[in-house]
Amino acid sequence: MASLLTNAAAMTALQTLASTNKSLDTTQNRISTGMRISTASDGAAYWSIATTMRSDNKSLSAVQDSLGLGAATVDVQYTALEATVKELTEIGKLLVSAKTPGVNRGQIQEDIKARLGQMSSIASSSVFNSENWLSVDSAAADFNKDKSVVASFSRVGDAISIETIKVDVNEIKLYDANTGATAVGTAPTADAAGFALGAVKVGGQGLFDSQWAITTSDGAATPAYTAQTLSIKDLDISALTDSAADQEKLTAYIEIVDAALSKLTDGASNLGAVKNRIDTQKDFVQALTDAIGRGIGQLVDADMNAESTRLQALQTQQQLGIQALSIANSNSQNILSLFRG
């Protein structure tokens, strides 16, 4: 039925054209942004997940920065410990050579003194980002023996977890300005057979400025054993002679240096393990960040191949819709022609 008041064909054509234009706007927005879901109205569930994961990825980026800073700090401390191990090893060799009868122990002491000074210089200069773990002051108000490096960030539901890699400074410190540090051991005594036990670190300061104790003999036929204490930084053999008692002291000094070297090596090994763990964690966090980024892309990124094809189809539909609307609007003109003579 032809009607002047209602043009059903034009209404249908107009609705079709409006739907096509809306789809065309959506497709053009996806192409311009590169995203299938760019706002909550495009898909609330996926948009919420993607937004949360982007936030987590930013947190992981901060973790990467922390790991980088931690790796640099640990590397500086580890490098200093390696250098110190070499210097202390040389001091041990010099002490062994000092047991040779007739040797000039004054000259050997000069060499020992130089190496002790070098170790002190190494410890005081091992600073990165104002952090020095080898030369500390445990009496300072801001001192914390536990140094932490943020290693990971994770989310399960609404619960957030942050993991850290910790280093106990007390296990690796070489010098501690706190002279009131709590003692950590007791002096050894001779056993039942009369042999002295090994060297023990009894002071609570650093490895080199703490007091070390060892039981020594006076070298007599019926020896008397006494506890000797000294710090490695104050090691001095210049006044020692070839006497049996002084030879016993040299042996004690060698044992102290050897015990300190063992602790120093353990500290360097532990710090090296931390260094490797941080490097491994850096690689993992980078891989995790990339994986989360890919996951977000799967949720919200537009398929540009599909969208470009859809754009061409919609543009064609738009042109046909305009043409159909034009034809429908011409129907009223056709009705008018019926009344012409």
Whole-angstrom distance, CA of residue 273 vs CA of residue 270 = 5
Burial class (CB in 10 A: 0-12, 13-18, 19+), 195: exposed
Terminal CA-to-CA distance of the chain, rounded, Å?
Answer: 22
Residues in CB range of 236: below 8 A, 6 or more apart: 109
Provide the angle, in degrees to the nearest 10, between the axes of the packed helices 44-97 and 244-300. Answer: 160
The shares of helix, strand and coil residues in the chain, as percent rounded to the nearest 5, are: 60, 15, 30
Whole-angstrom distance, CA of residue 323 vs CA of residue 329 = 10
Whole-angstrom distance, CA of residue 327 vs CA of residue 329 = 5
Whole-angstrom distance, CA of residue 131 vs CA of residue 296 = 38
Domain ranges of the chain: 47-173+253-297
pLDDT at position 3 is 63
Residues in CB range of 112: below 8 A, 6 or more apart: 91, 94, 95, 235, 237
- CB-based contact 199:254 (threshold 8 Å): no
Q: Would you give per-residue pLDDT tens digits along the chain (341 residues)?
A: 566 666 778 788 888 888 888 888 888 888 888 888 888 888 888 888 888 888 888 888 888 888 889 899 999 999 999 999 999 999 999 999 999 998 999 999 999 999 999 999 999 999 998 999 999 998 889 889 898 888 888 877 777 888 888 999 988 999 998 876 665 555 555 544 444 445 667 767 888 888 887 776 655 666 666 667 788 888 899 998 988 878 888 888 888 899 889 999 999 999 999 989 888 888 988 898 899 899 988 888 888 888 888 888 888 888 888 888 888 777 777 767 766 65
β-strand pairing of 146-156 with 159-168:
antiparallel
pLDDT at position 298 is 87
- Chain-centre distance of CA 322, in angstroms? 62
pLDDT at position 340 is 65
3-state class (DSSP) for residue 184: coil
Partner residues linked to 230 by β-bridges = 212
Supply 247's token pair: 């030879």
pLDDT at position 2 is 60
Supply 114's token pair: 């130089």
Burial class (CB in 10 A: 0-12, 13-18, 19+), 3: exposed
CATH architecture of the domain covering 47-173+253-297: Up-down Bundle (1.20)
CA nearest neighbour of 67 among 151, 148, 154: 151
235 CB neighbour count, 10 Å cutoff: 20
223 CB neighbour count, 10 Å cutoff: 17
Provide the angle, in degrees to the nearest 10, between the axes of the packed helices 44-97 and 105-125. Answer: 170
Diameter of the chain measured on Cα atoms = 152
Residues in CB range of 315: below 8 A, 6 or more apart: 24
3-state class (DSSP) for residue 117: helix
CA nearest neighbour of 236 among 253, 251, 219, 252: 253
129 to 23, 123, 142, 147, 236: CA distances (angstroms): 55, 15, 15, 13, 35
CA dihedral for 57, 62, 64, 65, sign (positive or negative): positive
